[in-house]
Amino acid sequence: MAHECDDICRDLHLYLDGEATVSTRTVISVHLEECPSCAHVFRFESQVRLVVARCCAEPVPDSLRVRVLQAIYTADP
Ligand SMILES: [Zn+2]
């Protein structure tokens, strides 16, 4: 892996979180265009983030909340 790839990988999470500066974003997006291995890492990381975001955004259904609360209360002696 080239030296530039190390830098890209280090800053990739900032890029994915939207916290990278404009210049870093530009460097990364240009690099992703021409570096298949970093592009692969980027796709993988963004998929992971999508799944995690979806799981965290999912509200716990009321029925499940009630069941959990009942289990806690009935377990009490
Ligand atoms: Zn690279």
pLDDT, tens digit (0-9, with 9 covering 90-100), for 11-52: 998 999 899 999 999 999 999 999 999 999 999 999 888 888
* Residue-number span of the structural domain to which 69 is assigned: 3-75
What predicted TM-score, i.e. pTM, was given to this entire model? 0.64
How far, in Å, from the CA of 33 to the mean position of ligand 1? 9
- Kindly state the tokens that stand for 18: 């939207």
Q: Ligand 1 centroid vs 39 CA: distance in angstroms?
A: 7
Domain tally for the chain? 1
What confidence category does residue 1 fall into, taking pLDDT thresholds of 50, 70 and 90? low
Q: What is the Å distance from ligand 1's center to 25 Cα?
A: 14
